[in-house]
Structure formats: C-alpha cells, structure tokens
Copies of this chain bind each other. A is one copy, B any other.
Amino acid sequence: MKVYNFSAGPSTLPRQALEQAQKDFLDYNGSGMSVAEMSHRSKVYEEIHNEAISLLRELMGINDDYYVLFLQGGASTQFEAVPLNLLVKGRADYIVTGNFAKKAYKEAKKYGDIALAASSEDKNFTYIPDVDKIEFRDDIDYVHITTNNTIFGTKYNKLPKVKTSLVADMSSNILSEVMDVNAFDLIYAGAQKNIGPAGLTVVIVKKELVNNPMPICPTMLRYAIQAENNSLYNTPPCFSIYMSMLTFRWIKSMGGVKEIQKINEYKAGLLYDFIDNSDFYVNPVAAEDRSIMNVPFVTPDKDTDALFVKEAAANGLVSLKGHRLVGGMRASIYNAMPVEGVKALIDFMKKFEKQQR
C-alpha cells in the first residue's frame, strides 16, 4: 500500500535517497561492499563521511569558525553534553517551550546553576514567549532554546538577543528553513527528522567553545575529542551518515534550503488554512508561533480523534496520533513529506468530517 508517513521521528525520508540506497545496498560505488559493512577507515567510506560534512556546511552556510560533528546518542545525550562542555562559569539560562526543552533544562540543572529564563508551560506550550521581554542573567555561559517544538507544534520566528552564547536544539526544524548559523554558538539535532535515519546526532559548534569541558565530562561526550578526529575517534554510525549524505544531496538537488523552505511554507500553509477554515478541526497554537514542521490538531472530542487516527491509517496516512501530552493528532510534515502527502491528508480530513456530520 502507498503510505504517507506523518511520524514525528524517525520520519519519512526522501524517496530519491531511499531508492539510491537500495540500489547500492549490496555494492556501493563498485566497492563490492555495502556501506553497512565497510571499514570506517577505508577510503570509500571516508569520501562519504567528508561529503556529508561538506554538504551540510554548504546547505547551512557553516563557516570555518564552527566544527561539524557527527555523534551518537540523540539530542537527549546533548542535553547533558552541552552543559558538560560549555559550563565554565557554571551558569546558564534556559527557555522552556516544550517537553524536550524541559528535559534539557532538567538535565542541565545537575551540572550547574541553571535558571528558567522563560516558559510557556502556563498555556501547555501553545506559544513562544516574547523573546524581547526575557531578561537573562549576567555572567552566564549560554542561553538554551529549542527552535521547534515537535510535540506542541511551535517554533521561534525571532531569536532572543543574548550577550553570551546561544545554544539551540534544532532537532525538528534543522534544514527546514534558512537560518543564520552565525546567530548561534552551538546547534544540535538528532538526525531522524530532517537529516537521516536515527542513530546520528549532528553538532555544529564554535571552535572556541570546545576547550573547557567540565572535569567530570566523559571523554566520549567531549566535543574536542571528536573534533580533533573528524568524528572518527571511534566507529561512527556509518550507514546513518551515508543516508544523511543522500538526504543532503537531495536537498541540494531541490535548490537548497531556500527552496525547501518555500515548499515547507506552502505545505504548512495548505494544512493550517484548511484547519482555520474548518469548524471541525482545531489547532491550538498561537498563529504567529506555528511550526511549519509539526501540526497538531483535534476534532471535537477524543473518541472522534481516536477514530480519525484509525481510519487515516487504514487509508495509508500513518503515525498521525498526537503525543500523549497533547492528545488528538499531529501531522509531522518534514522536508521529505511531499506536497501530495499533505493534500492527501486534507482530502481525508474533508471526507472524515463529512462522514461525522
């Protein structure tokens, strides 16, 4: 069955990348080997590794002031690696705009004097606090934000002005719209939304920031160690990196992040417009803070939500169930979700609504 996969992550990958990987699965580039089984010290793998890094630099406009690291352990590992590497004065401020932002804040509290600079939990994270009104403490090492909130469907459209380093968990909207990397000092992202299969975590970090890890920081979480070794200190997740390279090539072939952003805005626009013009479906997010990657919505009641999820799946629209913290539905429409997928969802929503009336 033809399926559109709306999973929040791991999530749909570009068809072109999957087909290429399938074609080359037993014999990559005439090597006689699968990428899944080749030495990470071989020339053939090294080319994949370096192409992935340089494509990401090109697509995001990452200059030589930054390292690009390919790590393991997911964003959850970065919730700890960030304070363990960046706390020098021992103080940082966090803006909590969702579940993962809150986790990042809680984990960091183990390692220093961490303050909650602002939160949108008062309204179940349905908005982004006005960044111009947030007062950060003096003498902090960094401010941490989560640029897109997967569960709640919000995103920052304006960055807080910070006197110190700005750190961002960009897991669910990296590469989805043009961002000025220079506005950040550290960006991290789990691969499994807009980059590639789960198992890879990308860290983009200002070179000057990696040299003062806390003494208790495990070797394997030290950015400097992986930076010195081009992310080959130990065996990297080679196959995930390879698939990511294929995704980066696909983004480039689409015209880069600028063009991808236009498509994403178009896709999200179709869906939000439909919801806003409906008196059956509701999206609870403040209009100006809406994510273009994750669109939560509900029907008039929970039983109908459950029926929607079930019938949608039967119609090839899968993984639409919302997170338990929000309920209802969530359509994750990352880069690789084709326009046709969003249109098919809207068509189904229309049909379902009619059926329920």
Binding site for B on A (CB under 8 A): 1-3, 5, 7-13, 18-19, 21-22, 25-26, 30-34, 36-40, 42, 72-77, 79-80, 84, 107, 190, 192, 196-200, 216, 218-221, 233-240, 243, 316, 318-319
* Neighbour of A77 across the interface among B37, B38, B220, B240, CB < 8 A: B220
Q: Are B234 and A32 in contact (CB under 8 A)?
A: no
- Nearest CB to that of A33 among chain B residues? B5
Extra 4 A-B pairs, beta carbons < 8 Å, given A11-B37, A72-B77: A1-B32, A7-B38, A72-B237, A199-B236
Bound form: Cα–Cα A198–B151 in Å: 30
- Nearest CB to that of A81 among chain B residues? B218
Given contacts A8-B39, A10-B40, contact A237 B237 (CB under 8 A): yes
Number of copies: 2
16 A-B pairs (CB sep. < 8 Å): A11-B39, A18-B26, A18-B34, A18-B37, A19-B26, A31-B318, A36-B196, A72-B74, A77-B218, A79-B219, A107-B219, A197-B239, A198-B235, A199-B239, A237-B237, A237-B240
* Neighbour of A235 across the interface among B74, B84, B221, CB < 8 A: B74
Bound form: Cα–Cα A192–B236 in Å: 10
Interface class of chain A by DSSP: loop
Q: Are B25 and A39 in contact (CB under 8 A)?
A: no
Given contacts A72-B72, A240-B237, contact A197 B107 (CB under 8 A): no
- Nearest CB to that of A8 among chain B residues? B39
Given contacts A32-B3, A33-B3, A73-B220, contact A237 B199 (CB under 8 A): yes
Bound form: Cα–Cα A30–B2 in Å: 9
